[in-house]
Amino acid sequence: MKQIFGTWIIALLLLGGCTEQGSGGKDVSTLLSLLSGKTSLDLTNHLQRSSAIVFSGITYYVDALHGSDSNTGIAPSLPFKTITKAASLAASGDGILVAAGTYNTALGEVFPIKIADGVTILGDEQSKGNTGGMYSYYSGSGTYGNPGPTFVQGGANLVTTVFYPTFVLGNNSVLGGFKITNPITNSRAEAVLLNNVSGATARKNTLTTDFTGGRSVYIYSKDAGGNHTIADNIIKYNTVGIEAGAALLTSRVENNWISNNYYGILMSDSMLDLGGGIRKSVGQNWIFCNTAHDLIISPYPIENSWLPDLFAKNNIWDHKSPTIETSNSGVPADIYNHDNLTNLHLDNSYLVAPSLCTP
């Protein structure tokens, strides 16, 4: 299924797009409140931008349009040109503010870009990396604010690695406000990789791998870590939206739009809190219009950290209640729960009008 987004979604809901349910009025009001909540997150007053951002360490500035990697990078008027340069210097407590522009190999970026432990890197969180200008924490060193997406285009000029990510996040690092892609045709191509680290945050980004077999977010923390936060992202056009491999600690997933992927969320363990679980996720994920399944849980092999319960309360799916298949992954359903091995907690799950998806 594919998804059609637009401002008309509110009008559709008001006109009864979800009223086929007996409690349609409640569903509509709930959906509107969730959408309103998301909108308020995205439209915070732009006056609280860069002047309000204070890091405990050094602040580095990056501007693809006007910067130079021979600059100091520590003054808004003397920014670096590449994120790679800033990331190579930033240490725990430091921050990197990135102006709108296209950051790719042609500019001089070297992938994957590794964000060190405790470093925060921010672009344009208000529009999830899509607008720039006054919506960016740092608008650039030119006369006018850089317009357009804060676009990090991975997929080439790769340092040798087992994985092929655009960004690799360290312990307690934060990545927010970017449009990130990875067009490498490989199942190990990720927009964001969280590999054996703890406490990383990916928030308010637009993440895609253009259906090349890759994943927008891949979590693998079997040997160390987990406890990540994946929040307020637009995740679309991936073979897998979020994939969670083995982990020692549960990660929080909330307020994301996960649609138009082949699989929305693929889990080989149950260490994600999608709503109402141990990490106190509020849920409010829109997990719908994904081709095969919105959520697939396939614990093979079952790890020692396997939890028999998966909490996914207060989310929005293709159906109310979400349709579930347990024996044949080829059967269309919102959720595939392999051999019914997992106890699903899906309280307060709400319908997305089927007319929002087209074959």
> What is the per-residue pLDDT for 6?
40
Q: What is the pLDDT of residues 79-108, one digit of tens each?
A: 999 999 999 999 999 999 999 999 999 999
Per-residue pLDDT of the chain (359 residues; tens, 9 = 90+): 434 334 444 444 433 333 333 344 444 444 444 444 443 333 333 333 555 688 999 999 999 999 999 999 999 999 999 999 999 999 999 999 999 999 999 999 999 999 999 999 999 999 999 999 889 999 999 888 999 999 999 976 566 567 889 999 999 999 999 999 998 877 678 999 999 999 999 999 999 988 777 899 999 877 778 899 999 999 999 999 999 987 888 999 999 999 999 999 999 877 899 999 999 999 999 999 999 999 999 876 555 556 689 999 999 999 888 999 999 989 999 999 998 989 999 998 877 756 667 54
What pLDDT does residue 50 have? 52
Residue 79 has a pLDDT of 98
In CATH, what is the architecture of 2-358?
3 Solenoid (2.160)
For the chain, helix (H) and strand (E) counts, in that order, are 3, 30
pLDDT score at 94:
99
What pLDDT is stored for residue 246 in this prediction? Answer: 78
| Structural tokens at position 210 | 């253009």
Give the start-to-end residue ranges of the domains of the chain.
2-358
Which among 271, 267, 236 has a CA at the least distance from the CA of 252? 271
* SS3 assignment, position 36: helix
CA distances from 181 to 121, 206, 261, 334 (A): 17, 8, 14, 26
Contacting residues for 95 by C-beta, under 8 A, at least 6 apart: 53, 55, 57, 58, 59, 60, 119, 120, 121, 122
The candidate with the shortest Cα–Cα distance to 296, out of 269, 260, 257, is 269
pLDDT for position 223 = 75
pLDDT score at 350 = 78
Provide the sign of the torsion angle of the four alpha carbons 108, 114, 119, 125, taken in this order.
positive
Predicted TM-score (pTM) of the model is 0.85
